[in-house]
Homo-oligomer: A and B are copies of this chain.
């Protein structure tokens, strides 16, 4: 970077003022075709690359937004990223991606660093801070849009509650009474909503809650497998597993398989997200679809409006849709006997 060509170098070579070069480069119609052509040719020959940094200092906008995610190794997050990037490109924005690794400290660092970079706005998904962003009342601060944090005024969320409700209702209708929830406290808000949807649905059907049937995971394959194994070791194991996401569901499927249990004959499984992978499981995974790309696009759309100064934006909630494939089936005959919750 030491000696990269500047606008002044070109000005000197073209025997014009720097401002003329600046204008010609940005296709200002006031500059004559001749000089414009000369300047274009020269800047090509001299290998000129504009310095966005310098430009930003004077225009006071970076045309860049920050996107804070938990980690790139989460396929659902990947869809969100793609959606944000698509929409950003549409508006002429670049995206600066930072991973928080589900760590509140790193998330705060990430946001601070984005402020220092003077990005025009910030999108945070899977936040550990959540409404902490509300405290930032400084009007000079960048607007922040949150994904899956419906209490925050500028947010786009999936209807996690309804998604969980539909999933569990589906299981109840199939006759299941002992339904487990494989949680992921790492995704705070989404997890709360799905847990609540599960709880409420069980209550609605007069099924007593069993604390043993909620077991913690971390949204990964390994976490899902471990959680399922703990469940299977219970004196009275569940007949159906509702998992925080598809990855945990695949992990659970693996545990079931290793335990010699057939799906769905011996145990039903439902995931969440509807990753492409869900359709490729053996058997194909019943799951709840949430549209990550759409979430991302809408978040970027909202952020753009916020950047433009629009104030009257309100939270958006996108639907979650149950997709029934082949990991759910009738409750196995004989289940629910003994000290079953209902029979008891």
Closest-by-CB residue of B relative to A85 is B99
Cβ of A140 and Cβ of B2 under 8 Å apart? yes
Q: Which residue of B lies closest to A292 (CB)?
A: B73
Residue A305 interfacial (CB < 8 Å): no
Q: Write out, one digit per residue, whether chain A residues 208-251 have a CB within 8 A of any chain B CB (1) or not (0).
A: 00000000000011100100000000000000000000000011
Minimum CB–CB distance from A174 to chain B (whole Å) comes to: 23
Within 8 A of B (CB), among A95-136: 96-99, 112-113, 115-118, 120
Q: How many residues of A contact B (CB 8 A)?
A: 54
Is B82 touching A72 in the complex (CB atoms < 8 A)? yes
Min CB–CB distance A158 → chain B (angstroms): 18
Indicate if A206 sits at the interface (CB-CB under 8 A): no
Contact residues in B for A118 (Cβ distance below 8 Å)? 1, 51-53
Decide yes or no whether A277 CB sits under 8 A from chain B. yes
**Does A4 make an interface contact (CB < 8 A)?**
yes
Contact residues of A with B, CB < 8 Å? 1-4, 47, 49-54, 56-57, 60-62, 71-73, 75, 77-79, 81-82, 85, 94, 96-99, 112-113, 115-118, 120, 138, 140, 142, 220-222, 225, 250-251, 253-254, 257, 276-277, 280, 282
